[in-house]
Structure 1
Amino acid sequence: MTFDPAEAHRRNAEPTGASADPPSPTRVAALAPARGEFPSGGVLSPHYRWISIGMCVLIMLTAFEALAVTTIMPTISRELDGASLYAFAFAGPLAISVVGMVLAGAWSDRGNPRNVLFASVALFVVGLLIAGLAPTMGVFVVGRLVHGFGGGAMTVVFYVIVARVYPPVLHPRIFAGFAAAWVIPSLIGPLIAGLVAESVGWRWVFLGVVALVLLAMFMVVPVMRSLHAPGSDIDRPAWNIRRIGWAVLVALAVLAISLSAESSGPVQWIVPVVAVVVAGLALRPLLPPRTLSARRGLPSVILLRGLVAATFFGTEVYIPYMLSSQFGLSPAIAGLALTAAGITWSAASWVQGRFPGISHLASIRVGMGLMAIAIAVSLATALLALDPVIQIIGWAIAGGGMGLMYPRLTVMTLEYSTTSDQGFNSSALSIADSIGSAVALAATAIAFAALQPAGGAWPFAGAFAVTGTICVVALLLGGRVVARRGAAPDTVCVAGGAASHAADPL
């Protein structure tokens, strides 16, 4: 995922601008052409056709890469002798993507988003090349970090481009296209990645995507010529160095937590504790006040989004690993668990969007209940060596839970926001996604490493116990998303299609 999982985890295709530093409504109005200057037609009309297709293809490839890595990582880890860096290969890109998001948002506001897009795509491609050609697991992880940075930046710049290229009336349609671009990779991506890894080798999962990314860029470039930077220095906000610094500090703290799993002795436990404290302090300016103390209303919505992402993506990366190492399944078959979750995520997203009588709180509680069942199934599969089919069905239940919760948390964020803080709150939602997943992956890596001497499925049981604990915390805090006073968001639903693993329905 880069959206990775983490993809996400792991990367959100939402009309709310769930990215770091999306432009505020006032700034969008200043940067976008006047209403009468927009060419007429739909998103697939001659003027918009190629940029619409190109951006959707880029998002589809990002989604495919995120899901593909989860499917084939057990094979990569085995061939490159990199079991100790397994979780870091997921957590690292998620952590570093936050820095890419913040930098891309600031650069887009100050300059031409065309340059930001070219730079982010270049980094994404370079990262894929490094990963695909990596001779060692260490080099592979470097490639993951590079394209994680580029992927995070790419997510942000897409929203800026939409604001400047498309008239407001077309925004829901192009964002629907972004969401739909995640559905197909969710359904067939794991299977294709597994078959490619088994037939011509896992490296072509990365190298093959490079050619498709370059092809998609050729579709986007012609329209990019019409984009310009703000007209004067007055229109350009100053670089927020402090915000960038906090994002860097958060990323470094999460990376330190992940790498501590390779340490031994007191360092293995001291470093994570110190890093968690540092990450918490650095996160505070990037989130609404009192988010980390679970204040009722918006702060708890943001916190719950991070906990939900942590539970799901922290577990998901170990599912194919367990199915292949403990049950001997091929990458293509092990990836069926991800496909099943993608199908149920999409179906549940559609259901919650079509039945407005289901309240936000009910969707969250049912979704967390389904997630708890899925984690329990995963833990039982590891400890009792249950049939792999049970694990695949269990993870399909987890996808259904996510489909119920993710859209509602997004809508609640908007309902608690005003026009002056929509950008900041959407940014916080995306940061909570990435950092929650990254911290969970780091914690599961420590548990996995600590239980490796026990052998068998015990390391997997330890990882699932960690995410199960996070799930329990999320269950306890779920009711705090409704504010104690005032009108609480309760009935507004997301309308439209469904998307999985990093995209909500519209």
Structure 2
Amino acid sequence: MMHALNIYIVTTILPSVVEEIGGLGFYAWSATLFVVASILGAAIASRVLDRAGAGRAYLVATILFAAGSLICAAAPAFSVLLAGRFVQGFGGGLLYAFAYAVIRLVYPEALWSRAISLISIMWGVSTLVGPAVGGFFAELDAWRAAFWSLVPLSLIFGLVALAVLPAKENDQTASAPLPLPQLALLAASVLAVSAGSASFDPIWNGAGLLVAVILVILLVLVERMGNARLLPAGSLVGGSRLIALYATIVLLVIGMQTDIFVPYFLQVLHGQSPLISGYLAALMAMGWTLGSLASAGRNGDAGLRAIASGPAFVLAGLAILAVLLPVPGGALWQMTAVSGGLLLVGVGIGVAWPHLVTNVFHEVSAAEQGLAAGSVSTVQLFATAFGSAAAGMVANLGGLRNGDGAAGASGAAFWLFVVFLAAPILAAVTTRKIAVARTRSDAVELA
């Protein structure tokens, strides 16, 4: 909740920040550095849990999160705020990954999917509450107070976690070494694609994407050969259920990253106010919450059917948006249909999400359960960063970089949603591989 709430609060107050301390040229890097740090935090979360136990690990993460908030609150210049955002993101990434890991420690397996759905619910709640809280402080011209307000909540939460969550067991095995080369390549790939997407020049766009792809390929090679791993064993084996599960997570999350341009399209093409367009864009996150709630109680084959249905919902939602969002208007029927498309995209991810995560847990050994929990957050955050940057590139090439107002926005909207239809289409293929691999596994067990 704190990690998600912070994201939406900062997004809302950032215009007030740059108005006071400058830094417009580095506006996007506030989010970029936060996400990169979150990925790094999530990637080492299992090691921190192994060494400190759940209670102490949460306390360490909340102290880091609070320290980053303090740095941001006191920042005299945007460069200092960026440093604070990095520390905040590192603590937030730990918190987010811990949420999945601790579920395995405190809930019986039959409740895993329900507990995981609570994480999705927090994103939905934060989408509604975060902009309101950030807007409140922005209206008061007190953006620093927005950061200050996170500090006491963080520390109280950390102390409660220390008191109620399990401590480290004395016979717990030593944690695996950190996969430092993979972490460096992962961070560099995100920075490369983000730097490329920041330019309106298609050559720089392509160069950033090419460098990022090369770095990801190197990461895969190092992961396969290295002793210290970022993902559980077998995650990169062709034809395995794990690789199909991770691929589905990546593709569904990428499909959702189109929402970063939705407020802009709604304002420029459909005459919606910033407040209304912001909350309409939040319908994707709300759909994720609703989908998770509806799907959480399913297990076994019902869970696999939920995974298989996810890409179909996302595909339908993106198709509606590809047809209607580029057409200027704003009529009630059009906005109703657009709202339905946004909800469908979120619902598609939500119905599949609890079962994707629980199936990842089921596919790994007991010794790597913590690593599996951290890997889900790492893969999700990486897909978020990569998808956001890719969305920026497609929108720029589609017409946004031309600065033609409504005409440029219309072209950008069309190409963005048409190109991103590929994500749920590919996800439909990977979900079939999940079911086929499960059938083969069951047949082997019976034999």
If the length of structure 1 is used for normalisation, what is the TM-score?
Answer: 0.68
Q: Does 1:227 pair with 2:179?
A: no
Aligned-residue offset at 1:308 = 1.1
Q: 1:459 to 1:132 in 2, by over 3 A?
A: farther
Q: 1:360 to 1:113 in 2, by over 3 A?
A: closer
What's 1:454 paired with? 403
Q: Does 1:98 pair with 2:39?
A: yes
What's 1:272 paired with? 209
Q: Deviations over 1:249-299 (max 9, x none)?
A: 201221122123445685554343123211232146234789779746431
Range 119-128 or range 166-175, more displaced: 166-175
Range 108-117 or range 276-285, more displaced: 108-117
In structure 1, list runs of 5 or more residues that go unmatched: 1-59, 491-506
Structure 1 letter corresponding to 2:167: L
**Superposition pairs of residues 346-495 of structure 1, within 5 angstroms:** 346-353=289-296, 356=302, 359-360=305-306, 362-373=308-319, 375-376=321-322, 380-382=324-326, 384=328, 386=330, 389-390=335-336, 391-417=338-364, 419=366, 422-447=369-394, 451-457=400-406, 458=408, 462=412, 465-466=415-416, 468-483=418-433, 484=436, 487=439
Aligned residues of 1:187 and 1:342 also touching (Cα < 8 A): no
Aligned residues of 1:367 and 1:405 also touching (Cα < 8 A): no
**Superposition pairs of residues 117-128 of structure 1, within 5 angstroms:** 117-128=58-69
What's 1:257 paired with? 193
What's 1:184 paired with? 125
Structure 2 letter corresponding to 1:430: S
Match of 1:213 among 154, 157, 169: 154
Aligned-residue offset at 1:124 = 1.3
Q: Does 1:143 pair with 2:80?
A: no
What's 1:306 paired with? 250
Q: Does 1:245 pair with 2:181?
A: yes
Aligned-residue offset at 1:309 = 0.8
Aligned-residue offset at 1:218 = 4.2
Measure, in 1, the Cα distance between the counterparts of 2:28 and 2:348: 23
Range 102-111 or range 181-190, more displaced: 181-190
Match of 1:335 among 273, 278, 291: 278
Residue 240 of structure 1: SS of its match in structure 2?
A: coil
Aligned-residue offset at 1:153 = 1.4
**Higher RCO (CA 8 Å, separation ≥ 6 residues):** 1
Measure, in 2, the Cα distance between the counterparts of 1:76 and 1:83: 9
Measure, in 2, the Cα distance between the counterparts of 1:301 and 1:307: 10
**Superposition pairs of residues 108-119 of structure 1, within 5 angstroms:** 108-119=49-60
Aligned residues of 2:117 and 2:289 also touching (Cα < 8 A): no
Aligned residues of 2:318 and 2:341 also touching (Cα < 8 A): no
Aligned-residue offset at 1:163 = 6.4
Q: 1:443 to 1:459 in 2, by over 3 A?
A: farther
What's 2:227 paired with? none
Q: Does 1:320 pair with 2:268?
A: no
What's 2:7 paired with? 66
Q: Deviations over 1:354-380 (max 9, x none)?
A: 674982454124223233235415xx4
Higher helix share: 2
Q: Percent identity?
A: 24
Aligned-residue offset at 1:213 = 2.0
Aligned-residue offset at 1:433 = 0.9
Structure 1 letter corresponding to 2:424: A
Range 98-107 or range 413-422, more displaced: 413-422
Measure, in 2, the Cα distance between the counterparts of 1:336 and 1:359: 31
Aligned-residue offset at 1:320 = 3.3
Aligned residues of 1:94 and 1:434 also touching (Cα < 8 A): yes
Measure, in 2, the Cα distance between the counterparts of 1:372 and 1:272: 23
Aligned residues of 1:194 and 1:331 also touching (Cα < 8 A): no
Measure, in 2, the Cα distance between the counterparts of 1:293 and 1:467: 31
Structure 1 letter corresponding to 2:243: P
Aligned-residue offset at 1:199 = 4.3
Q: 1:160 to 1:83 in 2, by over 3 A?
A: same
Aligned-residue offset at 1:353 = 4.1
Residue 335 of structure 1: SS of its match in structure 2?
A: helix
Structure 2 letter corresponding to 1:104: A
Measure, in 2, the Cα distance between the counterparts of 1:272 and 1:109: 35
Aligned residues of 2:245 and 2:431 also touching (Cα < 8 A): yes
Q: Deviations over 1:276-333 (max 9, x none)?
A: 2112321462347897797464312211211111221x22223334445776755543
Aligned residues of 1:315 and 1:463 also touching (Cα < 8 A): no
If the length of structure 2 is used for normalisation, what is the TM-score?
Answer: 0.76
Residue 37 of structure 2: SS of its match in structure 1?
A: helix
Measure, in 2, the Cα distance between the counterparts of 1:464 and 1:150: 37
Aligned residues: 422
Q: Deviations over 1:203-253 (max 9, x none)?
A: 4433322232233334344457x835x537xx4425413x23312320122
Structure 2 letter corresponding to 1:469: V
Residue 384 of structure 1: SS of its match in structure 2?
A: coil
Q: Deviations over 1:112-136 (max 9, x none)?
A: 5554333322221232234445455
Residue 325 of structure 2: SS of its match in structure 1?
A: helix
In structure 2, list runs of 5 or more residues that go unmatched: 224-229, 443-447
Aligned-residue offset at 1:160 = 5.8
Measure, in 1, the Cα distance between the counterparts of 2:266 and 2:339: 9
Measure, in 1, the Cα distance between the counterparts of 2:101 and 2:360: 20
Aligned residues of 2:35 and 2:385 also touching (Cα < 8 A): yes
Aligned residues of 1:68 and 1:193 also touching (Cα < 8 A): yes
